[in-house]
Structure 1
Amino acid sequence: MIQFKSELGEISVSSAVFSNITGMAATNCFGVKGMAYRSMTDGLVHLLRREAMSKGVSITYHDDNSISIELHIVVENGVNLPAVCRSIMNEVRYVVTKNTGVQVRAVDVCVDSMIL
């Protein structure tokens, strides 16, 4: 959780906020089918529904009030993976910073599956 303090009070931003913003930004990019989640019970990769997108995102907090984001995605067959991942990195960094004011130190994109 990141906290902003001023003379007027304090604002706390939870991981759920960053996860939801990240999931929405990533799934709006071309070639992304959705967020992915690897099940611990069977080891299979599952495509997440829109209401559960945050399961595919991991947020790491740093001492300087910046964050690092790791997200897992499922892509469409035939897309240029480096181009799609670069697009996601830029979009997530921009949207998270714009909506929360928090500096994003790193965005790591893991492509877990490709849908034919």
Structure 2
Amino acid sequence: MKLQNDLGEIRISSEVFTAVTGSAATNCYGVKGMAVRSTTDGLVHLLKRESMAKGVKVYYNDDGTVAIELHIIVENGVNLTAVCHSIMSQVRYVVSSTTGVDVSTVDVYVDSVRF
């Protein structure tokens, strides 16, 4: 993403958005971690901290905002609606305050529940 101002240009890579988003999401209560669905066996796998960016997709909109898609694994027994709303709010706030880019949407997909 490229941001212009009167002082010059700022370029923010996709890796920054995915790292900030993954960190904000996994710090929320009830989240076990980021998820990825295996293409070989179709199973959902819990990602390690080093590779949690695979569970995040960032889409750049024409109006200068970003749309974020998260795939997560949650703990058993938590209120899924409350956890997802918490993630949406936290991710939107952290990404906006860290990068200065507005977040248009945050879509959360619960891929699995872990015991």
Distance across 2 between alignment mates of 1:12 and 1:29? 28
Distance across 1 between alignment mates of 2:5 and 2:100? 14
Which AA in structure 2 matches 1:38? R
Which AA in structure 2 matches 1:65? G
| 2:14 corresponding residue in structure 1 | 15
Deviations along 1:74-108, one digit per CA (max 9) or x if unpaired, are 00000000000000000000000000010000000
| 1:101 corresponding residue in structure 2 | 100
Does 2:78 align with 1:79? yes
The CA deviation at 1:4 is 1.1
Distance across 2 between alignment mates of 1:40 and 1:105? 29
Distance across 2 between alignment mates of 1:37 and 1:14? 21
Deviations along 1:7-51, one digit per CA (max 9) or x if unpaired, are 432111111111110100000000000000001111110000001
Structure 2 length as normaliser, TM-score?
Answer: 0.97
Distance across 1 between alignment mates of 2:66 and 2:15? 13
Distance across 2 between alignment mates of 1:23 and 1:4? 22
| Identity of matched residues, % | 63
RMSD: 0.7
Q: Return 5+ residue gaps in structure 1 as ranges.
A: none
Distance across 1 between alignment mates of 2:5 and 2:95? 21
Which AA in structure 2 matches 1:70? E
Corresponding residue SS for 1:90 = helix
